[in-house]
Amino acid sequence: MSESIEIIKAFTFDAAHYLPYHEGKCQHLHGHTYKLEIGVLGRVRPDTGMVLDFSDFKGIVDENIVQPMDHRLLNDIQNHDFPASNPTAENMVVWIRNRLREVLKDKSVTISFVRLWETPTSYALWRAY
């Protein structure tokens, strides 16, 4: 099969943050239950019939993205160039994309989108066009 297929995995985590450059309520410490959706695009491997094993995909994202943020104060994270000084959903999406590009580079897939839901009605989205 020569066409590209997109696979998508969803994750949730809880974290707190404050936005020091915001002039509204969010400048104060508060928390969210985030929902993270990530899509990758690749060719179906003939030996496995998969683009990327969902279990492997989950493990990569959990170890490199979710665990470092889950049940943390995001402003205190000091690893992998995380945008701790201003952890907006937009800045976090860019960080997630950059971090995943680094860890997925040997998996023959391309990140197609990163969607981070901060509330049930609001999200930031990066999409490869």
**CATH number, domain at 31?**
3.30.479.10
Question: Please, which pLDDT band fits residue 80 given cuts at 50, 70 and 90?
Answer: confident
Domain containing 26 equals: 4-127
β-bridge mates for residue 15, sequence order: 32, 72
- Give the span between the Cα atoms of 94 and 115, in whole angstroms: 10
Average pLDDT (14-18) is 98
Alpha carbon 35 to its chain centroid, in Å, reads 9
Q: Mean pLDDT of all residues in the chain?
A: 95
Tell me which residue of 43, 52, 32, 69 sits closest to 103, measured CA to CA. 52
pTM: 0.94
CB 118 within 8 A of CB 91: no
Least confident window among 2-6, 17-21, 29-33, 71-75: 2-6
Residue 2 has what pLDDT? 63
Residues with a known catalytic role: 26, 71, 118
- Helices and strands (DSSP H and E) totals, the chain: 3, 5
Alpha carbon 18 to its chain centroid, in Å, reads 19
Q: Is the pLDDT of residue 99 over 60?
A: yes
Question: Please, which pLDDT band fits residue 79 given cuts at 50, 70 and 90?
Answer: confident
100-127 residue pLDDT tens = 999 999 999 999 999 999 999 999 999 9
Domains identified in the chain, total number: 1
